[in-house]
Structure 1
Amino acid sequence: MIPAGASVESMTHVPDINSPEEQTRYERGLAVLAAVDGGSAPAVMENLADIAPALAHHVVAFGFGDIYARPGLDPKQRQLVTLGILTALGGCEPQLEVHVRTSLNVGLTTTEIVEALTHAAGYCGFPKALNAIFVAKKVFAERGLLPVG
């Protein structure tokens, strides 16, 4: 319920992505992203720039500058969580592909990735786990990492 005398517009806060605070978050996010991504994320951000620059900003500032930069989990642990979540969600195969690459970049082995995706089958079902395995297989093949063993 909107309080008397207020409007939706007056209650909505939209951060200025060009403010110094937002730029600090964005720069921190870019640094984290560069350390783990291996180069594919900038292309994603560039593809968003003309239609949704604020979304591109928030993916970097929030996703990597705030969340991924938190202490408590190392990059390998974060990627295992991300692989499990994207597998369970299903329909996120393009994002899963990026994160399989990122998982390899941060030092997860092909065996660890396959085990994480296989483990997910018990919680989210075989179709989603199979889709995730086929995404991983594509990335492994691109990197010359097949057969997995």
Structure 2
Amino acid sequence: MTENETSRAERFASGKAALDAFHDGAGHGVIESLADIAPELGHQIVAWGYGDILSRPELDPRERQLVTLGILTAMGGSEPQLEVHIGASLKVGLTPQQIVEVFLHSSVYCGFPRALNAVAVAKRVFAERGLMPLAGEAPGA
């Protein structure tokens, strides 16, 4: 192996460890779905996204997922990625109530339509995992 190949392999291995820490099957499924059409994109998501960025020590996994949920909500049109990261958020210890709170908080900055879309994705993920219904305050309380 050349030095460049070793570095590439090491970055991928580091990213794979971070990917495993954040995601269950859904996160891995995204990478696997790219193998036959865009394997380099899958490699970069793992090596750069997870190995170089998400594994940095300055934010813990819970904090990183809070940021990711807020950004994906604000962007809009990222519901498939939001679904994967809601699952990751649960895996790293965020509660369903905390996840919904991110969407409520995001509504102030990015609007109700994007927050509603995010909540709809969360509802689907929570239902699949047996986490519904969530208790909360009644409107007007």
What TM-score do you get using the length of structure 1 for normalisation?
A: 0.86
Match of residue 137 from structure 1: 123
Tell me the matched-pair count. 133
| Residues 1:99 and 2:97 aligned together | no
2:74 to 67, 72, 88: 88
Q: Which residue of 1 aligns with 2:139?
A: none
Greater Rg over alpha carbons, structure: 1
C-alpha RMSD over aligned residues: 1.3
Shift of 1:42: 2.1
Q: Identify which of 9, 12, 32 aligns with 1:46.
A: 32
Q: For residue 62 of structure 1, what is the aligned residue in structure 2?
A: 48
Normalising by structure 2, report the TM-score: 0.91
For structure 2, which runs of at least 5 residues remain unmatched after alignment? 136-141
**TM-aligned CA deviation for residue 19 of structure 1:** 1.3
1:73 counterpart letter in structure 2: L
1:63-98: CA deviation from partner (whole Å, max 9, x where unpaired) = 100000001111100000000000000000000000
Mean alpha-carbon deviation: is it higher for 82-91 or for 19-28?
Answer: 19-28
User: Residue 122 in 1 paired to residue 127 in 2?
Assistant: no
**Identical residues among aligned pairs (%):** 59
Q: How far apart, in 2, do the equivalents of 1:140 and 1:42 lie?
A: 19
Look up the SS of the partner of 1:19 in the other structure: helix
Which of 68, 74, 79 aligns to 2:65? It is: 79
Q: Which amino acid aligns with 2:25?
A: G
Find the counterpart in structure 2 of residue 148 from structure 1. Answer: 134
Q: Partner amino acid for 1:109?
A: T
| Structure 1 unaligned blocks of 5 or more | 1-17
- 1:44 CA displacement: 1.3
- For residues 126 and 59 of structure 1, the distance between their equivalents in structure 2, rounded to whole angstroms, comes to 30
Letter in 1 for 2:56: R
